Amino acid sequence: MDEVGLQIKHDLRIWQRPIFPRQDSEPKTTPVLELKDVSLSIQAGEEEQFLLSQVSVHLPHGHFAAIIGPSGCGKSTLLKVIAGIKEHGSGEIHWKGRDVMTDGDLDPHEIGYVPQFSIAHELLTVEECIESTLRLRVAGQSGEELDARIEKVLTDVGLNEIADRRVSLLSGGQKRRLAMAMEMVSSPSLLLCDEVTSGLDPKSEDEIVHLMHALSRSDKRIVLSVTHSLQHVVLYDSVIVLYQGHLIYHGTPRLIAHYFGITNPADLYPRLAQRTAGDWHRSWEKYRTSYYEQSGLPPITEAKAEAKSESAAASEEDEIERLRKIVEAKEKSASENADDATDSEDQESATVVPGTFAQFGVLLARRWKLFFRDRGQVILQAALLFGFPFLVVIFAFDGLPQVKGLVADGGANLLERARQEAVALQQIAKTGTLVSGLIMFQVILLALMGSNNSAREVAGERNLFEKEKFAGLSPLAYVASKVAFLGALVLAQSLWMTVFVNMIVGFQGDFFMQATSLFLVNAGITSVCLGISSWMKSAEQSSLLSIYLVGFQLPLSGAVLALPKLLAPVTQIFIASFWGWSGFIRSMESTRYYDAIKQIAQTEPAGGTLCMLVLFAHVVVGLFLAYTGCKNSRWE
């Protein structure tokens, strides 16, 4: 049968079957979340490919809805558009009467978003995750209020009995409960759940769906759940069916079989393949009003006039009548929800996102807690801190040789004087090579420490950070907490390297300048790698690029092999090791070691002040990259 024949047969089936009476005891006629002809497209070569096409949905208070459809049909995309993570190309989205495009996205406390990935640190306990989330999202909580709120959230999601269990020990279902608990700390009016039941066993899936259902019934909350599963479809107040980016059904679960002409929900996806997405969408546009009435859903109003040619052709009387109905509906909504509005205003006035400094404190305390709970990281840092300086001193464990002058014995014959001078020059060259090599060795080892410090710091938790940023976390507070944490590591590593090596080897010169040079080298590499980490898509990519950065330090510094005169000024400005090596050498200008190094150095060390300025510039550039990288959105 051709497409037209299938559509006629379907249309006849729709109207020949009896429409079951709606089972709702009270009509839900007040839309809270409204999507009107929402579309989103991307450019695929020369063609425009629609991810969403003219999706119109209205949802009332206290509603539990599922978004279903085959893989790649736009379910998660629709959820991200509602959340404001993706910007739609055309159409309107209204929340409680306001246009989110013109009036701004939903406030962080109004919306909760549970993504597909984990949003909790594995080394924290359940209670600690909820507590840190609460402290990052809600300001002005006293100790008692904080404890009471945490206890309520734990009870609501059924995690109070395992509050002290680490996230790494939770089952899949428990982790999904925790994810929802972390969203409930701010009591959002809209909760978006993206595939939270995927990969769960039947029992856990059943528990999660019932939990979402219960959350939709508390505080008249809207809960939207993206799912592939049709096992619990009867628990939803309505089901949104997408097919290739088109909305092809939105109504109660009991009418799905009637509309699609199937007897079993499992037959839905095969049924969709029998018609094109465009045909399904046009069919739904015809019968949407009838099914909305039977489902007790708010009626769909037209989008802006320029979006539809029919609106442009409507008579002035019809337009006035339409506007009158809209005004009446809004007045009725205000009357019916006066008490709810008051409660909502009280809640919103009490829900204030903490300031940058308060968030910084929470993040820094959490970062140190995570550090000390990661035994592998603690052991590695201790090994680097104490092991790397030891690697330096083993090459000069007996200290540095004294540099003797080139004054030969005046009484010796010419041949003997030449021999003495040759021995002295040989000793100077040997000493200069040793001292220069030990300095560069320290610098390179600190560069390795810097890379290890921060290469995975942001990239390793990027998804979690994006989720917290979506909920109101300041990128400045996040970067500042990383700088404070890494700064402590850099200070300990650099200062101990300077002290320990000087104690054993006996470097002469300005100790403060030596310590500053090594500190700034470590800080510069740490900052740049932090910037790299904030721009990379994965921790593996960030680590690899950071290793390459350190690997090029030695050959491009010119301290071992001289660079071509045209290349040296271009490359050395980017090489922190060159400036650290130069600054350390300049600290020894008043000693004989400086003369020895100059005798063998193939590259002239830069001035001490210039070295400090360039290294400081490396730190600033790295922090700028880190901030801009964190400020940009990088959702999976």
Confidence of residue 319 (pLDDT cuts 50, 70, 90): very low
Inter-residue contact 30 to 222 (CB < 8 Å): no
**Worst-scoring range by mean pLDDT, 190-199, 222-231, 327-336, 573-582?**
327-336
In this predicted model, which residue has the larger pLDDT, 145 or 558? Answer: 145
Count CB neighbours of 207 within 10 A: 18
Percentage of the chain exceeding pLDDT 90: 53
Q: What is the pLDDT of residues 198-233, one digit of tens each?
A: 888 889 999 999 999 999 998 889 999 999 888 888
In this predicted model, which residue has the larger pLDDT, 218 or 444? Answer: 444
In this predicted model, which residue has the larger pLDDT, 170 or 44? Answer: 170
Please say whether the structural domain 3-297+313-350 has been given the CATH code 3.40.50.300. yes
Q: Indicate if the pLDDT at residue 376 is higher than 90.
A: yes
Q: In the predicted model, what is the mean pLDDT of residues 452-472? A: 93
Take residue 336 and report the two structure tokens written for it.
């019916």
Q: In the predicted model, what is the mean pLDDT of residues 93-105? A: 85
Q: Indicate if the pLDDT at residue 594 is higher than 80.
A: yes
In this predicted model, which residue has the larger pLDDT, 288 or 313? Answer: 288
As a whole number of angstroms, the distance between CA 88 and CA 91 comes to 8
Q: Indicate if the pLDDT at residue 124 is higher than 80.
A: yes
Helix (H, G, I), strand (E, B) or coil at 31: strand
Instruction: Tell me which residue of 520, 468, 603 sits closest to 112, measured CA to CA.
Output: 468
Confidence of residue 355 (pLDDT cuts 50, 70, 90): very high
As a whole number of angstroms, the distance between CA 263 and CA 305 comes to 40
Q: Indicate if the pLDDT at residue 297 is higher than 90.
A: no
Take residue 394 and report the two structure tokens written for it.
């083993």
Q: Indicate if the pLDDT at residue 636 is higher than 80.
A: no
Q: In the predicted model, what is the mean pLDDT of residues 100-123? A: 87
Helix (H, G, I), strand (E, B) or coil at 286: helix
Which pLDDT score, from 0 to 100, does residue 568 have? 77
Which pLDDT score, from 0 to 100, does residue 603 have? 78
Which pLDDT score, from 0 to 100, does residue 250 have? 94
Q: In the predicted model, what is the mean pLDDT of residues 306-326? A: 44
Which pLDDT score, from 0 to 100, does residue 266 have? 80
How much is the pTM? Answer: 0.83
In this predicted model, which residue has the larger pLDDT, 300 or 524? Answer: 524
Helix (H, G, I), strand (E, B) or coil at 11: helix
Which pLDDT score, from 0 to 100, does residue 165 have? 96
Which pLDDT score, from 0 to 100, does residue 347 have? 46
For strands 31-44 and 90-95, give the pairing. antiparallel
As a whole number of angstroms, the distance between CA 156 and CA 592 comes to 74
Q: What is the DSSP letter of 307?
A: G
As a whole number of angstroms, the distance between CA 539 and CA 394 comes to 34
State the helix-helix crossing angle for 475-505 and 414-454, rounded to 10 degrees.
150
Count CB neighbours of 41 within 10 A: 16
Q: Return the amino acid letter for 118.
A: S
**Worst-scoring range by mean pLDDT, 346-350, 456-460, 614-618?**
346-350
Place of tokens 């299938």: 6
Q: Indicate if the pLDDT at residue 597 is higher than 90.
A: no
Which pLDDT score, from 0 to 100, does residue 499 have? 94
Q: In the predicted model, what is the mean pLDDT of residues 318-345? A: 47
Query: For the chain, what are the domain ranges?
Result: 3-297+313-350, 356-401+434-631
Confidence of residue 118 (pLDDT cuts 50, 70, 90): confident
Percentage of the chain exceeding pLDDT 70: 81
**Worst-scoring range by mean pLDDT, 4-8, 107-111, 167-171?**
4-8
Q: Which residues pair with 93 in a beta bridge?
A: 35
Q: Indicate if the pLDDT at residue 410 is higher than 60.
A: no
Which pLDDT score, from 0 to 100, does residue 505 have? 85
Q: What is the pLDDT of residues 495-535, one digit of tens each?
A: 999 999 988 888 888 999 999 999 999 999 999 999 999 99
Which pLDDT score, from 0 to 100, does residue 420 have? 56
Q: Indicate if the pLDDT at residue 317 is higher than 70.
A: no
As a whole number of angstroms, the distance between CA 533 and CA 452 comes to 11
Take residue 255 and report the two structure tokens written for it.
């009418």
Q: How many CA atoms does the CB half-sphere of 629 hold within 13 Å?
A: 23
Distance of CA 117 to the CA centre of its chain: 11
Q: Indicate if the pLDDT at residue 342 is higher than 80.
A: no
Helix (H, G, I), strand (E, B) or coil at 580: helix
Which pLDDT score, from 0 to 100, does residue 394 have? 87
Which pLDDT score, from 0 to 100, does residue 513 have? 95
Place of tokens 């592939």: 228
In this predicted model, which residue has the larger pLDDT, 221 or 423? Answer: 221
Q: Indicate if the pLDDT at residue 142 is higher than 70.
A: yes
Which pLDDT score, from 0 to 100, does residue 311 have? 39
Q: What is the pLDDT of residues 37-83, one digit of tens each?
A: 999 988 777 777 889 999 999 999 899 999 999 988 999 999 999 99
Mean pLDDT of the chain: 83
Q: In the predicted model, what is the mean pLDDT of residues 341-359? A: 65
The residues, any chain, with a CB within 8 Å of residue 63's CB and separated by 6 or more, are 28, 32, 216, 222, 223, 237, 238
In this predicted model, which residue has the larger pLDDT, 72 or 568? Answer: 72
Take residue 171 and report the two structure tokens written for it.
């089952």
